[in-house]
Structure 1
Amino acid sequence: MDNIMNRRGLLRMAGAGALGLAAAPLLSACGGSGGGSGTGGVSNAGKQLAPWPAYVPFAGPKPDAPGDDTGVQPLYLTYPETLTQSVDDTVGDGSKVTALVVTYGPPPAPVAQNRYWQAINKALNVDLQVTVIPDPEYGQKMTTLMASGSDLPDIIMFTNLALPHSLEFIQARCADLSEFVAGDAVKQYPNLANIPTYAWKGMGRINGKIYGIPLERPMPANSLFVNRTAMDEAGIPKDWTAEQYLDAMKELSGERKWGLGWYKTLFTGLGCITYHAGALGAPNIWAVSGGQFTSTITTPQFEQAIDVMRKLVEAESVHPDSLTVSSTDMQSYFYNGTVASSQDGFGSLSPTTLTKINGRYELDLGRPYSPQATPWQSAGMFGYVTFKKAPADRIKLLLRISDYLSAPFGTKEYELANYGVEGVHFTKEDGGIKTTDLYQTENNNTLPFRYIGAAPSVLYLPGHPETAKATYEWQQATLPKSVPNPGQGLRSATQVSKGAQLNQMLGDGIAAIAFGRKPLSAWKDVVAQWKQTGGDQMARELAEEYAANQ
């Protein structure tokens, strides 16, 4: 069997309980949800803190344009002629290693028919068996997995999605990695040492300890991807006001086409509104003043952003299925030109996306539409991987696997992990990577090893240098004004136990107003309910945690 746990087994586990009920046993199993001491405490307040891993940057190939401290990525218009080798020692011991990760693409072919998978296994010298969970099913299946008493995979990937009691689960059943990666210890794994400190901080500690390896992502957060060709044809400028933006979305709608498409999983929290909130100057999730935390949802700028969304829907500028369609389907609508713009994670800017667009138009990103804009920065990581508790030698093996798959751009290991086997999945032509037909089905999207280890990202889009340059210019225009979330990486017992419920409350409230089921004035009731249900308590806990981490 190619997967660690076949899908029927996962479905049987998923049937054990509903999303909210499945996690209940963790409270007793893991010792409570409070922030105090003991096995159940996840707060770092008052705890001895493991030092962040030392940062030893990789001296990679010289870029065509440099990155900077605001988060602008180094730009590469051509592929390096000479690659270095970042892993000299044997990684694995020939044993079976099981992994569980999310996927946003179609399922991979089994390992026996998958030359990319076979090549990775050979390079790692392990039998790496991967089970992928489709994004729409991830929350429920992960929650039921955590609630079950069954054996765990060796490697478990967690996204930034708020899963009830996930931190308690990690502390109870996953390995404390502090002795292996904290401080200078990480230098035994040079590619992990190359992960910037902001990614480790974005992941955060649990009870003062380090339990995961972050999957680094660049500074831009949820972004507005746009069909630049359609916008140029309509005379829509790159720099626009709020009124010009609304007019543009209306101009691009009609004859079964729409200016904008959302998708249903964006409404499980603040994902659908992040571009608008940042464009109008709302703080990134939280604001801190005098050590006190205030939620962005209480600000007038955030309410104004909801009003922009309402106006978009009223003008029939939004795809009518936006509350029900999956992220995969909405991406397809964007790729084929049915919608002219779509919000998505910045990581969607990839060769895979550009291949799916297939030259129909030039891809770009939308700039903020007001002078007071505070574009939201990302968490600095997409998620993180944890390892099942095991003897030290086994943990070191798993760390070597993550280290290999985290190899930076300009290395042989990066090339294999991201493009596959030369002559099979890609060729090198005209100073760049050219993927083959086989790459369309065997790649790091359908078989996401990037969710076991991820290199710090650079801006290189093989075959699409103009898109890369346009993105670099967008970053230069946007990131200097961007703001971080001061609560990122901090621990709150309320966030652990009620985060998913609170996020859903906000998503439901935004959807109800944006799609005309309730008036804008109803937002104050959503805010009041959110604060009473746990929002105020979460703010107090984050303030305590923030003080402890200064």
Structure 2
Amino acid sequence: MSSHLRRRSLLKFAGAGALATVAGPALAGCGSGSTGNVGNAGKNVVPWPTYVPFSGPAPDAPGDKSGVQPLYLNYPQNLVRSVPEAPGDGSDVTAVVVTYGAPPKPLESNQFWQAINKALNVNLKVVVVPDAEYGQKMATLMASGDDLPDIIMFSNLQLPRSHEFVQSRCADLSDLVGGDVVKEYPSLANIPTYAWEGMGRVGGRIYGVPLERPKPGNSLYVNRTAFQQAGVAREWRTEEFVAAMTGQSGGGRWGIGGSKSLFGGFGSIAYHAGSPGAPNAWELRDGQFVSTLTTPQFEEAIGMMRRLAEKGAYRPDSLTLSATDLKTFWYNGSVLSITDGFGAVARETMDGINRRFEFDLARPYGPNATPWQGTGIFGYVTFKKASADRIKLLLRVSNYLSAPFGTSEYELVNYGVEGTHFTKDSGGIKTTDLFKVENNVNLPIKYLGVAPAVLHLPGYPEAAKAVHEWEKAVLPGSVADPEAGLRSATRTSKGAELTRTVGDAIGAIVFGRKPVSAWKDAVTQWRQAGGDKVAEELAKEHAAAK
């Protein structure tokens, strides 16, 4: 394989995605020859990195073991420096990463990007792939014989044979981050163990660095102002929820919005499934994995969504609407609730809503609710196989980008340069107009390394308090997905197909193309296509992990 990352290779991969780079650098060759055995059963597993929490500023309200985050109403006045010297050596570092924003401004005119490069002492070159194209583009990358970028970001999207690819062509980080050796990278040691577990091992080894997310999973965002004006309380039961969502629809306004990506899998139903008490993806019964799809509570959730659609609560184009367009309708108040990942809370309150209405999160509506936790990660980053010195450099880059809240490194990565992208006053951080186009969303470095999240919404202390109260009310009764971090060869090879089967069936039933009774046929199809095999493999993995 060539020792150069050719520009035409990047162009071929990027396709319709944005190529935020120039001609590529000389890179080390990549390995080959996966064992094909990505499971951990029967393997001598590497210990998880030792957790060494950052001793940062005291919060206004503490977090707890249920997943409630520490609350910071004010930005810390005295920051500390956590990385004593720049991690890089002046070389080029290439990366492929998903994006949910506009393409970044070119490096030559992008002061945020220039500041990041200076702080890292590298020339960062990024291929940003729009989320709608991510699955296809990553499949192209994994099938390609071309040289790889230095850093490859994997989201939580199920990609066929991604773990075989990681095992074959990415660097084994076990001897650099496993156990106490992770202390060489304090920001990575500050990543909580649940995030490493959510990423999981491959063949007993550690191949990536997780992009941590708080424990809440996909949540229902609500326009509290609209519901408050209608006399809808924060606590509701099933019929009150239905009345609230249907009563707000009409005249160009809808109670609930959906999108094509949400109805492509579990995203659209997570809140509804947890409300009547459905297990989070799987339930462990006497060592066996039982799919939530087979439970009466999950079918009840589908019936609830069908009922809401028949009553006109959903935007009628929810099956085809893009995620970007849905957000526009949410921001302008024509859609009063949407499902989104909890990690987007800060973006919603600051950049999107921008005080047009009060933001809130919905409590579950069922009396025996089991709110679903997330996996604890948004995804993870891997590094192309290279010399030990090169891998250590890339780990240092990730360590810098993962610097915790309360450090000067965190401030640069999240807000840019003081006086250029933000200012400070007694209320904390105030972003400038330039920050709207130069930030870590448009240049998505936050998907190359990220600090463990705290609950701090600059300029929105009341919203932060509301989210903290929601966490205290909901998380103690929440449930985790027992599959998190386990490996299934069938899931790896057929996960996208199985997810699509579920998503297509949910969408067809909710919007009236099929009756609710068709769900049993969909479950049978899912089981025969590999669902039962996944359950068997997960049970073996779980038993081996004890």
- Superposed pair shares fold, TM > 0.5: yes
Provide, for residues 187-222 of structure 1, a one-character-per-residue CA deviation record: whole Å limited to 9, x for no partner.
000000000000000000000000000000001100
1:110-259 matched pairs, under 5 angstroms: 110-259=106-255
What residue identity is the alignment partner of 1:431? G
SS of 2:283's partner is strand
1:363-512 matched pairs, under 5 angstroms: 363-512=359-508
Q: Which of 336, 358, 365 pairs up with 2:354?
A: 358
Tell whether the 8 Å contact from 1:50 to 1:178 is kept in structure 2 after alignment: yes
In 2, Cα distance between equivalents of 1:352 and 1:418: 15
Which aligned runs of 4 or more in structure 1 are off by greater than 4 angstroms? 3-8, 11-14
1:515 aligned to 2:511? yes
| Corresponding residue for residue 40 of structure 1 | 36
Higher alpha-carbon deviation: 442-451 or 496-505: 442-451
| Corresponding residue for residue 12 of structure 2 | 9
In 2, Cα distance between equivalents of 1:137 and 1:459: 31
Tell whether the 8 Å contact from 1:267 to 1:504 is kept in structure 2 after alignment: no
In 1, Cα distance between equivalents of 2:8 and 2:461: 41
TM-score, with length taken from structure 1? 0.94
1:12-27 matched pairs, under 5 angstroms: none
Higher alpha-carbon deviation: 135-144 or 262-271: 262-271
Change (3 A) 1:8 1:99: closer
Identity of matched residues, %: 63
What residue identity is the alignment partner of 1:161? L
| Corresponding residue for residue 24 of structure 1 | none
In 1, Cα distance between equivalents of 2:323 and 2:40: 35
In 2, Cα distance between equivalents of 1:128 and 1:385: 15
TM-score, with length taken from structure 2? 0.95
How far 1:9 sits from its partner (Å)? Answer: 2.3
What residue identity is the alignment partner of 1:544? K
In 1, Cα distance between equivalents of 2:416 and 2:267: 32
Provide, for residues 509-550 of structure 1, a one-character-per-residue CA deviation record: whole Å limited to 9, x for no partner.
101100001110110000011111100000000000000111
What residue identity is the alignment partner of 2:406? G
| Corresponding residue for residue 22 of structure 1 | none
Provide, for residues 297-346 of structure 1, a one-character-per-residue CA deviation record: whole Å limited to 9, x for no partner.
00000000000110111011101111111111101110110100000001
What residue identity is the alignment partner of 1:9? K
Tell whether the 8 Å contact from 1:426 to 1:433 is kept in structure 2 after alignment: yes
In 1, Cα distance between equivalents of 2:307 and 2:33: 46
In 2, Cα distance between equivalents of 1:513 and 1:352: 30
In 2, Cα distance between equivalents of 1:7 and 1:40: 27
In 2, Cα distance between equivalents of 1:346 and 1:4: 37
Higher alpha-carbon deviation: 353-362 or 259-268: 353-362
How far 1:12 sits from its partner (Å)? Answer: 5.5
| Corresponding residue for residue 35 of structure 1 | none
In 2, Cα distance between equivalents of 1:351 and 1:138: 21
In 1, Cα distance between equivalents of 2:150 and 2:412: 22
| Corresponding residue for residue 304 of structure 1 | 300
Tell whether the 8 Å contact from 1:100 to 1:133 is kept in structure 2 after alignment: yes
| Corresponding residue for residue 273 of structure 1 | 269
In 1, Cα distance between equivalents of 2:97 and 2:8: 12
Which ranges in structure 1 are unaligned for 5 or more consecutive residues? 15-28, 32-38
Taking only aligned residues, the RMSD between alpha carbons, in angstroms, comes to 1.4
What residue identity is the alignment partner of 2:444? P
Tell whether the 8 Å contact from 1:4 to 1:129 is kept in structure 2 after alignment: no
Tell whether the 8 Å contact from 1:203 to 1:383 is kept in structure 2 after alignment: yes
Tell whether the 8 Å contact from 2:72 to 2:456 is kept in structure 1 after alignment: yes
Tell whether the 8 Å contact from 1:387 to 1:395 is kept in structure 2 after alignment: yes
SS of 1:133's partner is strand
Provide, for residues 146-202 of structure 1, a one-character-per-residue CA deviation record: whole Å limited to 9, x for no partner.
001011100000000000000000100000000000001100000000000000000
In 1, Cα distance between equivalents of 2:542 and 2:69: 28
1:544 aligned to 2:540? yes
SS of 1:293's partner is strand
How far 1:364 sits from its partner (Å)? Answer: 0.4
How far 1:231 sits from its partner (Å)? Answer: 0.3
Tell whether the 8 Å contact from 2:14 to 2:129 is kept in structure 1 after alignment: no
In 2, Cα distance between equivalents of 1:439 and 1:12: 27
In 2, Cα distance between equivalents of 1:358 and 1:477: 26
In 2, Cα distance between equivalents of 1:343 and 1:13: 27
Q: Which of 64, 68, 78 pairs up with 1:82?
A: 78
In 2, Cα distance between equivalents of 1:101 and 1:13: 14
Change (3 A) 1:5 1:106: farther
How far 1:355 sits from its partner (Å)? Answer: 2.6
In 2, Cα distance between equivalents of 1:109 and 1:380: 31
In 1, Cα distance between equivalents of 2:313 and 2:183: 52
| Corresponding residue for residue 19 of structure 1 | none
SS of 2:269's partner is helix
In 2, Cα distance between equivalents of 1:294 and 1:338: 39
SS of 1:428's partner is strand
1:109 aligned to 2:105? yes
Change (3 A) 1:75 1:13: closer
What residue identity is the alignment partner of 1:10? F
What residue identity is the alignment partner of 1:192? L
Provide, for residues 87-129 of structure 1, a one-character-per-residue CA deviation record: whole Å limited to 9, x for no partner.
0133000000001100111111011111000000000000011
In 2, Cα distance between equivalents of 1:515 and 1:7: 40
What residue identity is the alignment partner of 2:81? Q
